[in-house]
A and B are shown apart, each in its own frame.
Chain A
Amino acid sequence: VVIKKILIANRGEIAIRVINTCRLMGIKTVTIYSEGEEDLPHTKLSDFAVCLGTGALRETYLNISKIVKICLDQKVDAVHPGYGFLSENAEFSSSLKAAGVIFIGPTADNIKLMGDKIGSKKFAASVGVPCIPGYHGEDQSLEKLRSEAKKIGYPVLIKASAGGGGKGMKVALNDAEFSGQLDSAKREAKNSFGDDAILLEKYLTGPRHIEIQMMSDSHGNHLHFFERECSIQRRHQKIIEESPSPILTPAMREKMANCAVKITSQMNYLGAGTMEFIFQDNEFYFLEMNTRLQVEHPVTEMVTGVDLVRLQILVAQKDKIPFTQKDIKQIGHAIEVRIYAENPDADFLPTTGTIKYLGETKLSNVRLDTGYSEGNAISIQFDPMIAKLIVWDEDRTRAIAKMQMALNDYPFLGMINNVDYLKRVLGHKSFISGDTLTSFVVTHEKDLAPPIIPDEIKKVAEFAAKFMGQSNNKTSTSLWQELGSGKL
Chain B
Amino acid sequence: MSELKLKYLGKIAGRTAIQNEITKEIYRVAIVDVEGSKHVSINNHNFFLQSTNTKKQKSETNGPMISPMPGKIIKINVSKGDKVKKGDLLLVMEAMKMEHSIKANRDGNVEDVAVKLGQQVNANAELIKIN
Q: Which range holds the interface residue count of chain A?
A: 35 or more
CB of B6 within 8 A of CB of A463, answer: yes
Q: Which of B18, B44, B47 contacts A463 (CB 8 A)?
A: B18
Q: Which of A437-476 contact B (CB under 8 A)?
A: 453-468, 470-472, 474-475
Q: From A129-137, A268-276, A348-356, give the one contacting chain B.
A: A348-356
CB-defined contacts of B46 to chain A, threshold 8 Å = 411, 413, 419-420
CB-defined contacts of B40 to chain A, threshold 8 Å = 413, 461, 464
With CB as the reference atom, state the residue of chain B lying closest to A346: B68
- Assembled-state Cα–Cα distance A336/B44 (Å): 19
CB-defined contacts of A380 to chain B, threshold 8 Å = 70-71, 95-96
Does A143 make an interface contact (CB < 8 A)? no
CB-defined contacts of A21 to chain B, threshold 8 Å = none
CB of B31 within 8 A of CB of A468, answer: yes
Q: Which of B13, B39, B42 contacts A356 (CB 8 A)?
A: B39
Q: Which of A133-165 contact B (CB under 8 A)?
A: none
CB of B1 within 8 A of CB of A455, answer: yes
CB-defined contacts of A414 to chain B, threshold 8 Å = 32, 34, 39
B70 CB to closest chain A CB (Å) equals: 5
CB of B69 within 8 A of CB of A470, answer: no
CB-defined contacts of B98 to chain A, threshold 8 Å = 167, 188, 235, 350
CB-defined contacts of B75 to chain A, threshold 8 Å = 187
Q: Which of B6-46 contact A (CB under 8 A)?
A: 6, 8, 10-11, 13-14, 16, 18, 20, 27, 29-34, 38-46
CB of A357 within 8 A of CB of B70, answer: no
CB-defined contacts of B99 to chain A, threshold 8 Å = 184, 187-188
Chain A 409-431, CB within 8 Å of chain B: the 1/0 string?
00101111001100100000000
CB-defined contacts of B119 to chain A, threshold 8 Å = none
CB-defined contacts of A352 to chain B, threshold 8 Å = 70, 123
- Assembled-state Cα–Cα distance A298/B9 (Å): 38
CB of B34 within 8 A of CB of A461, answer: no
Chain B 38-71, CB within 8 Å of chain A: the 1/0 string?
1111111111110001000000000000001111
Q: Which of A384-437 contact B (CB under 8 A)?
A: 384, 404, 408, 411, 413-416, 419-420, 423
CB of B96 within 8 A of CB of A475, answer: no
Contact (A357, B32) CB under 8 Å given A167-B97, A188-B97: yes
CB-defined contacts of B97 to chain A, threshold 8 Å = 167, 188, 191-192
B23 CB to closest chain A CB (Å) equals: 10
Q: Which of B69-94 contact A (CB under 8 A)?
A: 69-71, 74-75, 92, 94
- Assembled-state Cα–Cα distance A408/B18 (Å): 17
Does A73 make an interface contact (CB < 8 A)? no
- Assembled-state Cα–Cα distance A468/B41 (Å): 13
Does B129 make an interface contact (CB < 8 A)? no
CB-defined contacts of B13 to chain A, threshold 8 Å = 360, 362
Of residues B14, B40, B49, B92, which shows the largest number of chain A Cβ atoms within 10 Å of its Cβ? B40
CB-defined contacts of B74 to chain A, threshold 8 Å = 187, 191
Does B100 make an interface contact (CB < 8 A)? yes
CB-defined contacts of B32 to chain A, threshold 8 Å = 356-357, 413-414
Taking A350-B69, A352-B70 as given, write out 7 further A-B residue pairs in contact, using a Cβ cutoff of 8 Å, ordered by the A residue number.
Answer: A188-B98, A192-B97, A356-B32, A356-B33, A461-B38, A461-B49, A475-B10
- List 6 A-B pairs, minimum CB-CB distance, nearest first: A411-B41, A356-B32, A464-B29, A475-B10, A349-B69, A413-B39
22 contacts between A and B (CB under 8 A): A188-B99, A349-B68, A349-B69, A350-B69, A357-B14, A357-B39, A380-B70, A384-B96, A408-B41, A411-B46, A413-B40, A456-B1, A459-B6, A460-B29, A461-B29, A462-B49, A464-B16, A464-B18, A464-B29, A464-B40, A466-B8, A470-B8
Residues of A within 8 A of B (CB): 167, 184, 187-188, 191-192, 235, 345-347, 349-353, 356-357, 359-360, 362, 380, 382-384, 404, 408, 411, 413-416, 419-420, 423, 453-468, 470-472, 474-475
